[in-house]
Amino acid sequence: MNVFAALFPHGISELFNWKGGPFNDTIFEINKTAVMAFVSTLVCVFIFVWGTRKKALVPTGVQNVAEMGYEFVEQQIAVPTIGDHHGAGKKWTPFLAVMFFYIFFVNIWSTFPGVQFPATSRIAIPMFLSLVVWLVYVGAGFKAQGPWYMIKTCAPSGVPKAILPVVFVIELFSKFIVRPFSLTVRLFANMVAGHVLLSVFAIMTAELVYKHRSGAYQIPLGILPFAGLVAFTGFELLVALLQAYIFAMLTGVFIGDSLSAEH
Amino acid sequence: MHNLLTLAAVNGDIQQGLANVGYGLAAIGPGIGIGYLVGQSVQAMARQPEMAGQVRTTMFLGIAFTEALALIGFVLKFI
């Protein structure tokens, strides 16, 4: 029994398990996944520290990227989901922007030439991010609605008294257990599926072009899986962006739900 | 003993196969759901282009929730 898909079955584990460098087989093990997570963090820090260094009136280069990205998160994710009541959407934009950019840069490795492995396809990273989101929206709920937040939010107003216990249990389960679980699984499974898909096309191409076990006539056939590989690499770029967008947007929805008492 | 080992191996194969069939079954519902959802969203956007932004945001949210079911079926293979 392999809880939470931390390990992969034998055939697929070849694609996802990397040997650690220093501190192998301890919890401080540094392998490819960990290095990619650190590098993604550095890229995020670089964009926002370097981009906001000069604060030119007419932005150029990195400042342009930083400002456009932040504005995208604010206008497309934070304000529509959290709302602009007392500037709540703008107040929460930094957190959502961190989530969006970090997940985007970790995901985008799946199509980066030479690396081609999304670090989010090991469940530790999406699970940790979901735990952070869980703590933040529960904390925001306690801060906004007082110590009875968990009971208040699970007993919505306007529900008949007879079915209130059932609704309470369902709401408790869906708000505090299903939400972080589905956030984790959505990001993790999307990246795993994408990586497996690209690997399958790459292996097919290699088999047909380099091995061509049943004759040289197989070499021109390699163009078909290669075309699939190119097409799905483009598709993976879209998925990397879309998953970061969806993760940030769901985070915004959960926080907005915690902040408003009526729902 | 040898028979037992063979039986265990066959059992493992069957379990892997069942996991694949389970994924296929788990993909039916979300497939129908996402198709219907996106179709209705396109219709809404075509009828009221001024609401397109809001419809698109809600559509992505709905896709995310629907898609989760298929992905849970996918992850069951690893568990």
List strand residue ranges (DSSP E) for A98-202, in order: none
Range of lowest pLDDT (A43-47, A172-176, A222-226, B16-20): B16-20
CA count, 13 A, side-chain hemisphere, A246: 28
- Do the beta carbons of residue A144 and residue A258 sit within 8 Å? yes
**Of B13, B71, B77, B79, which to mutate for an interface test with A (greatest number of A Cβ within 10 Å)?**
B71
- Do the beta carbons of residue A61 and residue A67 sit within 8 Å? no
Tokens linked to A174: 């869906």
Burial class (CB in 10 A: 0-12, 13-18, 19+), A263: exposed
In whole angstroms, give the CA distance from residue B29 to residue B8: 33
- Model pLDDT for residues A181-216, shown as the tens digit of each residue: 889 988 998 898 889 889 999 999 999 998 888 888
Smallest Cβ–Cβ distance between A186 and the set B57, B67, B77 belongs to: B67
| B61 neighbourhood in chain A, CB within 8 Å | 246, 249-250, 253
| B68 neighbourhood in chain A, CB within 8 Å | 182, 185-186
A150-157 average pLDDT score: 85
Percentage of chain A modeled with pLDDT above 70:
96
Q: Is B57 close to A193, i.e. CB distance below 8 A?
A: no
Burial class (CB in 10 A: 0-12, 13-18, 19+), A5: buried
Tokens linked to A227: 């075309």
A150: pLDDT strictly greater than 50:
yes
Q: Is A189 close to B57, i.e. CB distance below 8 A?
A: no
List strand residue ranges (DSSP E) for A48-160, in order: none
What pLDDT shows up at residue B37? 95
B12: pLDDT strictly greater than 80:
no
User: A199 Cβ partners below 8 Å, 6+ apart?
Assistant: A15
Q: How many CB atoms neighbour CB A90 within 10 A?
A: 13
Q: How far is B3 from chain A (nearest CA, A)?
A: 24
Query: What mean pLDDT, rounded, does chain A reach?
Result: 87
By C-alpha distance, the chain B residue nearest A10 is: B78
- Do the beta carbons of residue B74 and residue A193 sit within 8 Å? yes
Q: How far is A136 from chain B (nearest CA, A)?
A: 20
What does R_g of chain A's alpha carbons equal in angstroms? 22
A1: pLDDT strictly greater than 50:
no
What is the ipTM, given to two decimal places?
Answer: 0.71
In this predicted model, which residue has the larger pLDDT, A5 or A49?
A49
What pLDDT shows up at residue A113? 87
- Model pLDDT for residues A25-64, shown as the tens digit of each residue: 777 788 888 899 999 999 999 999 988 887 777 777 888 8
3-state helix, strand, coil in chain B (%, to 5): 90, 0, 10
**pLDDT-based confidence at residue B47 (cuts at 50, 70, 90):** very high
In whole angstroms, give the CA distance from residue A243 to residue A20: 28
Q: How far is A219 from chain B (nearest CA, A)?
A: 31
Any idea what DSSP says for residue A112? S
Q: Is A185 close to B75, i.e. CB distance below 8 A?
A: yes
A77-85 average pLDDT score: 86
B1: pLDDT strictly greater than 70:
no
Tokens linked to A93: 């934009």
Any idea what DSSP says for residue A53? S
**C-alpha dihedral sign at B52, B53, B55, B56:** positive
Q: Is B78 close to A9, i.e. CB distance below 8 A?
A: yes
Residue B57 touches chain A, beta carbons under 8 Å: yes
**pLDDT-based confidence at residue A105 (cuts at 50, 70, 90):** very high
What pLDDT shows up at residue A123? 87
A3: pLDDT strictly greater than 70:
no
Smallest Cβ–Cβ distance between A5 and the set B64, B68, B78 belongs to: B78
Residue B77 touches chain A, beta carbons under 8 Å: yes
Tokens linked to A180: 């972080």
DSSP H or E stretch at residue A218: helix A218-221
A263: pLDDT strictly greater than 50:
no
Listed residue (B36, B67, B76) closest to A250, CA to CA: B67
A149-155 average pLDDT score: 86
**pLDDT-based confidence at residue B68 (cuts at 50, 70, 90):** confident
In whole angstroms, give the CA distance from residue A33 to residue A111: 15
- Model pLDDT for residues A234-260, shown as the tens digit of each residue: 999 999 999 999 999 999 999 998 988
Residue B54 touches chain A, beta carbons under 8 Å: yes
